[in-house]
Amino acid sequence: MRENLCLVTGACGFNGSYMVELLLEKGYKVRATDLEGTERGIYEDLVKREGVEFVPSDLTKKETLKEVVKDVEYVFHPAAVFDYAAKWELMERVNVFGTRNLCEVLMEEGKVKKFVVWSSAAVYGIPKPELLP
C-alpha cells in the first residue's frame, strides 16, 4: 500500500465508486466521502474495503470538510448533484459553492499536490426534441 492519501468525493456515486476502485487497484490509500448514510447504499461493500476510510461530509457545510481533507495529497472530485429535475438553486449550492468550500478548506490544509474535478455529459442539459435524429 502506498503512503499517499487520496480523497474521493461523491465516493458512493457512479463515478466516485469507480475512482475508489481504481485507486485501490493502484495501491493508494483512499479517504472516501459522501453524504451521511450513502455508505449504506449500493456501494456499501466498496467503502468498507481495506485501504478505504469513509468519512461522511456535506460539501455545502464547510465545517464538515476539515476532517475529510486532513493529510490528503490527491483529490478526485466527481461529487455533484446530477438530476435534470433538480432545482437550479440546489445544483448551484452543491456543484458551485460546495466545490468552492472544498477548495478553500484544501488551501487552508496546504498539502494537496493534485486536484482533479470532472463532470458528465449532463452539463449539456436535456436534448431538445427538434435536435434529435
CATH number for the domain that contains residue 115: 3.40.50.720
Specify whether the CB–CB gap between 79 and 34 falls below 8 A: yes
Rounded alpha-carbon distances, angstroms, from residue 29 to 20, 87, 126: 9, 35, 37
Query: How far is Cα 6 from Cα 81, in angstroms, rounded to an integer?
Result: 22
How far apart are alpha carbons 128 and 106 in whole angstroms?
39
Q: Which domain holds residue 89?
A: 5-131
Cβ atoms < 10 Å from Cβ of 73: 16
pTM of the model: 0.86
Specify whether the CB–CB gap between 57 and 33 falls below 8 A.
yes
Given this model, what pLDDT does residue 12 score?
A: 86
Q: Could you give the count of Cα atoms lying within 13 Å of 86 in the half-sphere of its Cβ?
A: 16
Instruction: Report the number of distinct structural domains present in the chain.
Output: 1
Q: What is the structure's pLDDT at 28? A: 95
pLDDT of residue 123: 65
Cell numbers describing residue 5: 492519501
Q: Is residue 49 helix, strand or coil?
A: coil
- Which pLDDT tens digits describe the chain residue by residue (133 residues)? 678 999 999 998 888 989 999 999 999 999 999 988 766 655 667 766 788 999 999 999 999 999 999 999 999 999 988 777 778 888 889 999 999 999 999 999 889 999 999 877 666 666 778 877 7
